[in-house]
């Protein structure tokens, strides 16, 4: 009998509430008979575990049951505290209180060795307020009204059903169902200019399984950066995408969504970048640079 499997069954039941013997057997790759032996072993160890007959029955834990703190190792306790330290800076206002309680419960001092701050410079108050409202909306399934600046520089008011907050590539995003478009959309938090938490409750829709988290990407984008801008290249791209040339310049092979944001992004490097491929992207950026020059020439 595996003690590790017993704990895994326990954690699974704590998370799901109940499970059938066949469900546990499939998940832990053992026979149903073994599952019932594990249930008996847990019960003998004092865990309030029981089975309910019938179509809606299964293997359950008493509702009030909680794990003793001793089950966590010292390293695991420190990992929990470290995770709370980092996430509290993202705008989770209750993090500090929970951190204090768990530190006392674990009899451990919190090692303040990490600091994470996702807010803008000089704008932490608004970022914290926005994050807290979005967290409330997602957890309690409340619709929100937002004023959003899209990639075409259009400011639009939307009512959306927020499903999840997502952090990817150094940016926060909101995954939501847009009532106007009647479709799933991703909103960049920085572009949410105003936010109102509504009272209307919604039933969350499952996020589509297909990979639609971003615009279609263009493969085969090749960029050549001067060595003087190397520090920024490694800020923006994974090192596996970067190849240093003999003269110190940096060649980047990547794929990115081709939209107005991309041309503006490449222009932000000024003369320190050359678009090697594809040719049409090179022409798009050149045309945009020419327009900028025409608008600002003396």
CA gap 45, 50 in Å, rounded: 13
52 pairs with which residues across the strands? 58
| The dihedral sign for the CA sequence 252, 257, 259, 265 | negative
* Greatest Cα-to-Cα distance within the chain, rounded to the nearest angstrom: 86
Instruction: Give the model's pLDDT for residue 172.
Output: 81
Q: Is pLDDT larger for residue 37 or for residue 72? A: 37
**What value does the CA radius of gyration of the chain take, rounded to a whole number of Å?**
26
For 70-117, the pLDDT digits (tens) are 456 666 666 666 666 655 555 455 555 665 666 665 555 555 545 555
CA gap 182, 287 in Å, rounded: 35
> How many CA within 13 A on the CB side of residue 5?
17
The full 3-state SS of the chain, as one line of letters, equals CCHHHHHHHHHHHHHHCEECHHHHHHHHCCCHHHHHHHHHHHHHCCCCEEEECCCCCEEEECCCCCCCHHHCCHHHHHHHHHHHHHHHCCCCCCHHHHHHHHHHHHCCCCCCCCCCCCCCCCCHHHHHHHHHHHHHHHHHCEEEEEEEECCCCCEEEEEEEEEEEEEECCEEEEEEEECCCCEEEEEEHHHEEEEEEEEEECCCCCCCCCCCCCCCEEEEEEEEECHHHHHHHHHHCCHHHEEECCCCCEEEEEEEECCHHHHHHHHCCHHHEEEEECHHHHHHHHHHHHHHHHHHCC
For 180-238, the pLDDT digits (tens) are 989 999 898 888 889 999 999 999 988 886 544 444 556 789 999 998 888 888 888 88
CA gap 31, 25 in Å, rounded: 5
Q: Is pLDDT larger for residue 268 or for residue 62? A: 268
CB atoms within 10 A of CB 225: 21
CB atoms within 10 A of CB 269: 17
| Bridge-based pairing state of the strands 183-188 and 192-201 | unpaired
For 228-282, the pLDDT digits (tens) are 888 888 888 888 889 999 999 999 998 887 777 788 889 989 999 999 988 989 9
Q: pTM for this structure? A: 0.47
């Amino acid at each position: 009998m595996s003690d590790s499997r017993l704990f895994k069954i326990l954690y699974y039941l704590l998370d799901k509430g109940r499970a059938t013997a066949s469900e546990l057997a499939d998940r832990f790759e053992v026979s149903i008979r073994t599952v019932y032996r594990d249930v008996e072993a847990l019960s003998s160890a004092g865990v309030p575990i029981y089975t309910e007959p019938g179509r809606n029955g299964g293997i359950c834990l008493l509702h009030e049951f909680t794990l003793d703190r001793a089950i966590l190792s010292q390293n695991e306790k420190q990992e929990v505290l470290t995770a709370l330290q980092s996430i509290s800076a993202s705008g989770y206002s209750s993090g500090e209180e929970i951190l204090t309680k768990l530190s006392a419960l674990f009899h451990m001092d919190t090692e303040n060795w990490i600091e994470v701050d996702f807010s803008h410079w000089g704008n932490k108050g608004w970022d914290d307020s926005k994050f807290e409202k979005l967290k409330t909306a997602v957890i309690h399934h409340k619709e929100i009204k937002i004023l959003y600046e899209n990639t075409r520089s259009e400011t639009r008011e939307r009512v959306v059903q927020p499903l999840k907050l997502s952090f990817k590539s150094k940016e926060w995003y909101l995954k939501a169902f847009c009532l106007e478009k009647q479709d799933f959309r991703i909103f960049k938090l920085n572009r949410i200019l105003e936010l109102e938490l509504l009272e209307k409750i919604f039933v969350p829709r499952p996020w589509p399984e297909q990979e639609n988290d971003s615009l279609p990407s263009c493969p085969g984008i090749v960029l050549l950066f001067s060595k003087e801008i190397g520090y920024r290249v490694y800020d923006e791209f994974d090192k596996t995408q970067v190849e240093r040339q003999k003269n110190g310049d940096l060649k980047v092979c990547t794929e990115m969504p081709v939209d107005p944001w991309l041309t503006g992004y490449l222009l932000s490097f000024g003369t320190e970048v050359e678009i090697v491929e594809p040719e049409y992207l090179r022409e798009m950026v050149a045309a945009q640079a020419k327009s900028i020059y025409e608008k600002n020439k003396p």
